[in-house]
Structure 1
């Protein structure tokens, strides 16, 4: 079927099978409108504006319980698009080279997307919530998503389940985008991998460590988390959202859009990381009262960025010193420079005696104390009053083997037990010496008073 507005069009239909068709060069290959229990299988759907479109129209029933399986869907604008369609099953399709989406679930819930092969699309799989329906509960399982610009993306949705998906060599493998905490709460476990490394998607946890070999790290609504000794060099970085009192330390973060992204997070410490060759080294979005200490920020397009897509974000009262800012296209940028109605980002750039090293600092050090005689001016509201003339030395940090081979810290129970034993030993030592001193005093008294 070729050259039609719609190759196959079903409206208010049910219990129909569409099998072994070739649909090409149509505006829409197959369209189901308010239809249910339709099987679409073993079709070749090529060069259409939309490959398969399943929608609800006006006040008609939802399209639901349809099965889309074992089709070849290629070179369309959208491969499979569901709008207001629930409880459908999309499985074992080959979906490749579509110019927009491989699979897009829009305002559609309780769908299962499983065992599909998505290759070289703009977006592999997108789950998209539209007000007021954000709680979609879609299940994305055992898909292979490779060589797309965007792998698996969740935009403004929550309570989705992702398990056993492989993301391989996508420009952005995995992305969750939301402006509120609710829409970040998804079940994404470590069975999902990026180039063979597990996704670490941590939600509502306290006092844990994240380390080892990860492909992506998101820390959401957590406190007391330590993210350390990771080598994240596969396009994904560390994302902290609604997180406080946590630490990101001694990681290598390179070749990403964002090395570290802080969203509505505060009182965190970013220390002793190598952050290099990213679009943004560290991105502060409504993030305040954080500390950035002793990091190497190298060869990024923008070293530090303060702001976000929504005006009036607060990105002030962060403390930044003893970092090396080297050969970034722009060391620091601020949304206020392009959005004058946004909140000013006013931060502290030294500890009162020493600041940061800036590779393009032009000042002098006439007294030879290692501190520049003139401040390093960032903008009219921010300055490093004590710029360092030489980079801060981190010999162990720059040794990659040292960074990624490390000793597991002692468990807290062992630390407590050791402290208790030391305290008991100290008590015995004090008692012993006090008893000895009393004995010596008694001997002296007897000697002086025979």
Structure 2
């Protein structure tokens, strides 16, 4: 009797083939290659027809599948072509020195709507110009978008996330290096070693970029003055706070109301910076070629350097806390005749590197009544005439590693100072304080109220009456405010209160003028005006003065 004989191995083979057919029919294809795909302007677009559709008229290659590669991903080898990722992903091996998209020496190239993942560098744009990178995403890679010696490019509406994943720890989302006149707008960089970094790059425009959760969000650095002349507005955000990048500004006030997340002042004069809380930038507050400005009562933490002055002079830094920064709490480079008073620099520097304060090629600066507690406290190299103390009772600074007898600090005469200087590379403090804030007990001030004219309409016509007060500070730095007035008979203060005169140092004298409005018909009047002076230690001194009419 004849029956049907089934070959089991044949049955198994057919089952496997059927399963593979289902995979092909129902799951998108993913191409893979060990070699780099190349896009060129020829009949097939180079390798384009192997990975997508080539349209020769606009010279556009549109991907039709995800791609996996072992080495580099896609190299653009002709000018004027377009690579449209069409929402697909280009995946690298996740190890080694590999590039997702290479655009070296190219111009007028467009790359859009592509995701690159697992490369040490997502987009490599070297010696290239007039290209557009838009709507792309780089994930789980090293540096996402690198422009090196690349000018006049448009980097817009791209995303970088999880840079540094398995690669160099400090990989940025967007890095411009020796690259000028580029537009970087609407990009999002998150969870990377760094956000957006400009190095030796000027004339660039940055708007609407969002940097969140990066180890260091933002920085501009360079060697030439032109490297710092960029157009960077407050629509750029670091951890939800606006970037303030001031160029050639005078008489600007940046205070807590601005909520600034990082501040750069380039070629500025008479700028006031106060009340800021800044974290996670390569530099928190940066002054370059900036003069006659005051930086006070700010907190800077978790940055590479806290507060830095390059080539800046005549500035006052007071009441700032610059702590837990990677390299230095305060850095002065080529900066002369500045004053640092009443600041703290704690826990700055990593391992044996970094300082509480680092001065290089800087001269004539006064640094006193500050608190230092760092791995290495101070470094003073290449400058001259920097003073780390004034005479008693003002004295010098408090150094946490030199305030006990076991550390060499003795106070035989009980004057609050160590009897021997505190010595560090390139300098010394001749009157180091034993106690942090010990200088707070030596405060003295003089409030000289003189030249004040009160009277009646027999003496003055109806209108504005000016009242002058001379205020001078003997020892410490004060912020002076007129905080209130008592008015009678309709006399009102025309100048809004409080009136801040800013920080005052030893020997400074400031003339305060308040204007009072005297209405017609007023005969005899008197007012009472109060002054409040608060020093850097938080002590409060008030001066009430009541003056009868003449």
Which category of TM-score, normalised to the shorter sequence, fits these structures? 0.7 to 0.9
In structure 2, the residue matched to 1:78 is 121
In structure 2, the residue matched to 1:383 is 428
SS at match of 1:28: coil
For 2:59 and 2:497, the matched residues in 1 are separated by 58
In structure 1, the residue matched to 2:467 is none
Shift of 1:25: 2.3
Verify: 1:316 aligned to 2:316, yes or no: no
Q: Structure 1 residues 410 and 165, CA, compared in 2 at 3 Å: closer, same or farther?
A: farther
Verify: 1:249 aligned to 2:267, yes or no: no
Verify: 1:347 aligned to 2:391, yes or no: no
Bigger Rg, structure 1 or 2 = 2
Equivalent residue in structure 2 for 1:3, among 21, 33, 44: 33
8 Å Cα contact 2:85/2:115 also seen in 1: no
Shift of 1:391: 1.4
For 1:174 and 1:408, the matched residues in 2 are separated by 37
Verify: 1:183 aligned to 2:227, yes or no: yes
Q: Tell me the alpha carbon deviations over residues 102-145 of structure 1, each in whole angstroms, 9 at most, x when there is no partner.
A: 0112222222222211011122011121xxxx5x2211111110
SS at match of 2:227: helix
For 2:222 and 2:498, the matched residues in 1 are separated by 34
5 Å-filtered alignment, 1:21-420, equals 21-42=65-86, 43-47=88-92, 49-56=98-105, 62-64=106-108, 66-99=109-142, 101-121=143-163, 122-129=171-178, 134=179, 136-212=180-256, 213-235=259-281, 236-279=283-326, 280-301=328-349, 302-307=355-360, 314-325=361-372, 327-334=373-380, 336=381, 343-344=382-383, 347-353=386-392, 354-361=395-402, 362-379=408-425, 381-392=426-437, 410=499, 419=514
8 Å Cα contact 2:38/2:77 also seen in 1: no
For 1:374 and 1:294, the matched residues in 2 are separated by 22
Shift of 1:26: 4.2
8 Å Cα contact 1:162/1:189 also seen in 2: yes
Q: Tell me the alpha carbon deviations over residues 209-253 of structure 1, each in whole angstroms, 9 at most, x when there is no partner.
A: 111211111111101111101111344511111111111101111
Shift of 1:291: 1.0
Count of aligned pairs between the two proteins = 387
| TM-score, normalization by structure 2 | 0.65
Q: Tell me the alpha carbon deviations over residues 6-37 of structure 1, each in whole angstroms, 9 at most, x when there is no partner.
A: 21332687612232243322433211124203
Q: Tell me the alpha carbon deviations over residues 401-442 of structure 1, each in whole angstroms, 9 at most, x when there is no partner.
A: xxxxx9996599xx999645599xxxx99xxxxxxxxxxxxx
For 1:318 and 1:215, the matched residues in 2 are separated by 28
For 2:497 and 2:72, the matched residues in 1 are separated by 56
| TM-score, normalization by structure 1 | 0.79
Q: Structure 1 residues 115 and 410, CA, compared in 2 at 3 Å: closer, same or farther?
A: farther
8 Å Cα contact 1:54/1:81 also seen in 2: yes
- Consecutive unaligned residues of structure 1, counting only runs of 5 or more, are 57-61, 308-313, 337-342, 396-405, 430-450
- Consecutive unaligned residues of structure 2, counting only runs of 5 or more, are 1-30, 46-57, 164-170, 350-354, 403-407, 441-482, 484-495, 502-509, 525-550
Higher relative contact order (CA 8 A, sep 6+): 1
8 Å Cα contact 1:7/1:26 also seen in 2: no
Shift of 1:55: 2.3
Worse-matched range after superposition: 349-358 or 165-174: 349-358
For 1:89 and 1:35, the matched residues in 2 are separated by 12
Q: CA RMSD in A?
A: 2.9
8 Å Cα contact 2:123/2:146 also seen in 1: yes
Q: Structure 1 residues 78 and 11, CA, compared in 2 at 3 Å: closer, same or farther?
A: farther
In structure 2, the residue matched to 1:340 is none
